[in-house]
Amino acid sequence: MKAPISRYPLPDLADLPDDMRDRMLAVQEKAGFLPNVFVALAHRRDEWRAFFAYHDALMEREGGLSKAEREMIVVAVSADNDCHYCVIAHGAILRIRAKNPRIADQVAINYRKADITPKQKAMLDFALKVSRDSRSIGDTDFGKLRAHGFSDEEIWDIAGITALFGMSNRMANFLSMRPNDEFYVMGRELE
């Protein structure tokens, strides 16, 4: 009774252009398995390239928010959008980045009660406002974040990651994308 990886056909890796296959093989080598998002989105090659370019631009940008904080944003936003793939996959990455086996579940269920700093809660409050109510964002929101010490470039990162994963959540929900079984247990024994 296990659901398929995606509603749409999955390409054969052998048929993909070199740039796409090379990245997939590199990811697979590093992670030990190939995350399903790489295969499911490859049904559309140009969209696949743009998506991962966007992802890298925000998630691997030099400086600013820590890697763990970026994943917190992904997990909080994806949980609010009820995105099965993104919460499971990025929850695993968050546990590893934060070296904390419980943080992903805490952020996904209710970040207000998670073991994170007040500054990180302010970051997630803003991310959720971008996700649910971007129409109302104004100077007051920027003021709150600056009071916590966020730079304007970091604020852009929070908004950008939220907006990007809002897109990703909608696509994964649309495709009923299934997370790899490996993600469920990664990083749970870190202590």
C-alpha to C-alpha distance for 115 and 107, rounded to whole angstroms: 9
Nearer to a copy of itself (CB atom), residue 10 or residue 185: 185
Of 135, 140, 143, 149, which lies in the binding site for a copy of itself, with binding defined by CB under 8 A? 135
Instruction: Enumerate residues 38-67 that contact a copy of itself by CB under 8 A.
Output: 43-44, 46-47, 49-51, 53-54, 56-58, 61
C-alpha to C-alpha distance for 14 and 58, rounded to whole angstroms: 29
Nearer to a copy of itself (CB atom), residue 68 or residue 87: 87
Whether 47 and 37 have beta carbons less than 8 Å apart is answered as no
Whether 85 and 114 have beta carbons less than 8 Å apart is answered as no
H or E stretch at 41 = helix 36-41
H-only helix segments in 60-117: 67-80, 84-98, 103-110
The reply to whether 180 sits near a copy of itself by the rule CB under 8 A is no
Residues that bind a copy of itself (CB under 8 A): 1-3, 7-8, 43-44, 46-47, 49-51, 53-54, 56-58, 61, 79, 81-84, 87-88, 101-102, 105-106, 108-110, 112-117, 130-131, 134-138, 142, 152, 156, 159-160, 162-164, 166-171, 173-174, 176, 181, 184-185, 188-189
